[in-house]
Amino acid sequence: MRKIIPLILLIGCVIGIICSCTEDDDCSGNARQMLTANILTVISTDSAQWETPYSLDVLNVYAYGTDSIIINDDQSVKNLSLPLRYNVEETTLIFSYMLHAEDTLPQHYDKDTIVFRHHNTPYFLTLDCNFVVKQELTDLQYTTHVLDSIVIVNPTASNDGTENIKIYY
């Protein structure tokens, strides 16, 4: 009987130590906030006009002023997740499209530039999770070499896949 009591106390201490080391904080809110973009085209007839999903054959997306490649030769692109910069309130992305000319080789690339202006607001999440930056679009400018237009649907970037912008081709 004397041997059982110390054994029970030892097992209780081990269980207590293991349980005290588990992670209670959920830092999923600390994930990188992204802009979600859907790629669409507008189909018009004499009596109606509607938008429909569009697919880009081959797309590259680069962050201007850095060596960051956000998307590298992605094919059949219908939607995008785009990061915004934390340290400045303007993010410039270059969209490079591989275009296939009829019966000619090699393929060639054409580019569009999109400038996102956004407001960054850091806020404290928890002691374990640190700070998170809330990012909200305030304006955007873009070239129209290949793309037609961009519409802001929801200005607040998130990590839950909510649509922020519509890119029309």
Query: What is the C-alpha to C-alpha distance for residues 111 and 146, in angstroms, rounded to an integer?
Result: 7
Model confidence at 6: pLDDT above 80:
no
End-to-end CA distance of the chain: 81
Confidence bin at 9 (pLDDT 50/70/90): low
Structure tokens at 107: 């393929």
pLDDT tens profile 85-125: 989 999 999 999 987 655 555 566 799 999 999 999 998 87
Query: What is the C-alpha to C-alpha distance for residues 26 and 83, in angstroms, rounded to an integer?
Result: 22
Q: Which residue has the tokens 């094919």?
A: 75
Please give the pLDDT value at position 19: 54
Please give the pLDDT value at position 127: 80
Confidence bin at 31 (pLDDT 50/70/90): confident
Please give the pLDDT value at position 129: 79
Give which of 106, 86, 107 is closest to 97, Cα–Cα: 107
Give pTM, 2 decimals: 0.76
pLDDT tens profile 53-85: 999 889 999 999 888 899 999 999 999 999 999
| Cβ neighbours of 167 (radius 10 Å) | 24
The CA–CA distances, whole Å, from 60 to 34, 55, 95 equal 17, 14, 6
Please give the pLDDT value at position 48: 80
Mean pLDDT computed over 28-53:
85
Please give the pLDDT value at position 121: 94
Burial 83-118 (b: 16+ CB within 10 A, else e): bbbeeeebbbbebbbbeeeeeeeeeeeeebebebeb
